[in-house]
Structure 1
Amino acid sequence: MSLDWIYFAISWILLTWHSAWDAIGVPVDAVIGTNFAWILAIVFLVVSVRVILFPVFVKQIKSQRAMQALQPKVKELQEKHKGDRETLQKEMMELYRKEKANPLMGCLPMFLQIPVFLGLFHVLRRLDPFKPEDKKTIYGWTVDQFNSASNAKLFTAPLSGKFGSTAEDLARLGANGTTVKVIAGVLVLVMIATTYLTSRQMILKTGWAEDPQQRMIQRLMLYGIPASLLISGSIFPIGVIIYWVTNNLFTLAQQQWVLRKFPPPVTAKKATAPAATRSPVQPAKAGGLFGRGKAAPAAPVKATAPKVAGPKPGAKPANPKKSRPAKRQG
């Protein structure tokens, strides 16, 4: 299956945003070693993709809420079918089908962005100023646009440069090897950190899943993907890393807004206070249905006379007559 349609779509969005920034007056030539019009074109490629995928993101949040509400039932199934993994999986899949919850929905937005990532990776990898003229005009580019993008830089590091670029590649791009490695290395570290934070932010708010399959996906998102970027990040062009970091920052802001506006449901376990921590006596409030009246007075407590201790076992009973004074005889 040809992926040319993805390359055309990515190129069209990049070129449209670059033309928009150029028309607004953003400098096309490098300022402090940076071509801001092309940097902003990549940033707003992220914005365009996230706006298109926003309905999918809403479905992701709804699915996560449904999964969270099912945690007590999932725990019951785990206790019921402990030791019978096959039956447990069947019962859980039936529960998800019945409740219309999908444990894989949490990864769907990321999976849908993979074609965009691969398309941008392919387009930026083509940015070689020494390519033949006929190779510069594919995917809707003009020769001038291609040459402009080929010479675009971030602090003098070409957007098509990589941490793992060879000396020959750097010479073709007219770039300094140390500068490219420093810029690319810092961006890779920021990419790893923000990737970790996006997963951590969601897990801290929603908690670890009871379902082993869902928990495995959470661990993969939290630890596996950031760890893999430590190696694979060396082959990503700087422009692709800018896309990834921008996407992570957008995700952090979007998740923060959604989690604040629609907080995760409180589970019954958290909502019910332990019996030991409750106050033994709580005065009831009067005032009818809305509870706006004054607190009802507590029931009167009858005063009880103090108990008098009886005589100790074996002691002689006290004779009250002996304690009376003797009568005088007249």
Structure 2
Amino acid sequence: MSLLEPISHALAAVLAATHDALTTLGADPTAGATWLLCVAAVVVVLRLALLPVVVHGVRQAHAGARARPHLRELSGRLGDRPDAEALRRHLEERRRVSDEHGVSRLGCLPVLLQLPVWLALYHLLSDVASGTAVGAMGPGLVSSLGAASILGVTLAGSGYLGGGPAHLAVVAGLAVTAAALSYVTQRHVVARNTLTEGMPEAVLSVQQLMPALSALGLLVAGGVVPVTLLAYWVCNSAWTLGQSVVIARWFPTPGTAAAAARG
């Protein structure tokens, strides 16, 4: 059993349960709209479950911003050629300052713990779109999802070309929407709520390129992944944009442009 399998099975149970619930309420069990709502429901459930990690990240960003001036002052007092004793005292003082401001020693570990969850969801949607049963998503449900369509384009379909104008319009529309949402989130929301003071020039340059590179990556991937995954990316990107706007508007990181705009 792989590390991702239990997570994939749990997410498959949410996907199947949502489909059953919608069908009970009268939705067409084979309709593309029904399955798109199921994918959106999985995204919502997962993002709600991960909110504690988001809250931790916001608190750590605030703590790091409060501690940064004091840590910079300590670095300035260290000198160019510190001896072993000076380094020891410096590290102790840094730990003290970090503890005072609530900076966690775990760093970004809680955020990294999300990666297996997102990988499991990616593999789940990819597998069921290719016709592979996963946990509660048995052969019947997998067949239903694969045959479901949007404007005549099946959720298992992929690629920009070869399926006619409708196919191109659906695939390109979903890919462009996901890419646009990602770009706007990173370039116009997250960037304004990121503390860049004291950052090396090279890091700043890479950071400025990331929104465009991320959007380009989604456009390229849009030509090879199933429509189901594109729909998931759109739903997930929309949630990320909304969540980022809420954080930047009401819980901005001190010292950022977002905090200055809030006053």
The equivalences for 1:203-242 within 5 A come to 203-212=191-200, 218-219=207-208, 222-242=211-231
1:169-226 per-position Cα deviation (integer Å, ceiling 9, x unaligned): xxxxxxx354333322222222222122222312213442434498588557545433
Deviation of residue 20 (structure 1)? 1.3
Q: How many residue pairs align between the two structures?
A: 246
Question: Does structure 2 conserve the Cα–Cα contact (< 8 Å) formed by 1:150 and 1:160?
Answer: yes
Separation in 2, partners of 1:92, 1:191: 45
Deviation of residue 68 (structure 1)? 1.7
Report the TM-score, using the length of structure 1 for normalisation: 0.61
3-state SS of 1:124 partner: helix
1:289-319 per-position Cα deviation (integer Å, ceiling 9, x unaligned): xxxxxxxxxxxxxxxxxxxxxxxxxxxxxxx
1:69 matched to 2:71: no
| Unaligned stretches of 5+ residues in structure 1 | 168-175, 272-330
Deviation of residue 64 (structure 1)? 0.9
Question: Does structure 2 conserve the Cα–Cα contact (< 8 Å) formed by 1:194 and 1:249?
Answer: yes
If each structure's helix is expressed as a fraction of its own residues, which one has the higher value?
2
Deviation of residue 48 (structure 1)? 0.3
Residue of structure 1 equivalent to 2:119:
118
2:38 maps to amino acid: A
Question: Does structure 2 conserve the Cα–Cα contact (< 8 Å) formed by 1:71 and 1:210?
Answer: no
Separation in 2, partners of 1:49, 1:246: 12
1:163 matched to 2:159: yes
| Unaligned stretches of 5+ residues in structure 2 | 82-86
Deviation of residue 9 (structure 1)? 1.5
Separation in 1, partners of 2:106, 2:155: 34
Residue of structure 1 equivalent to 2:57:
60
1:10-56 per-position Cα deviation (integer Å, ceiling 9, x unaligned): 211110111111112223344xxxx2110000001111001110111
Question: Does structure 1 conserve the Cα–Cα contact (< 8 Å) formed by 2:60 and 2:104?
Answer: yes
1:48 matched to 2:49: no
- What stretches of structure 1 move > 4 A for 4+ residues in a row? 77-84, 90-93, 102-109, 211-221
**Which of 238, 241, 256 is the matching residue for 1:252?**
241
| Higher CA-based Rg | 1
Question: Identity rate of aligned residues, in percent?
Answer: 26
Residue of structure 2 equivalent to 1:292:
none
Higher relative contact order (CA 8 A, sep 6+): 2
Deviation of residue 63 (structure 1)? 0.7
Separation in 2, partners of 1:258, 1:249: 14
1:56-113 per-position Cα deviation (integer Å, ceiling 9, x unaligned): 11001101111222332344356556878xx8xx86994585444259967954x444
Question: Does structure 2 conserve the Cα–Cα contact (< 8 Å) formed by 1:38 and 1:152?
Answer: yes
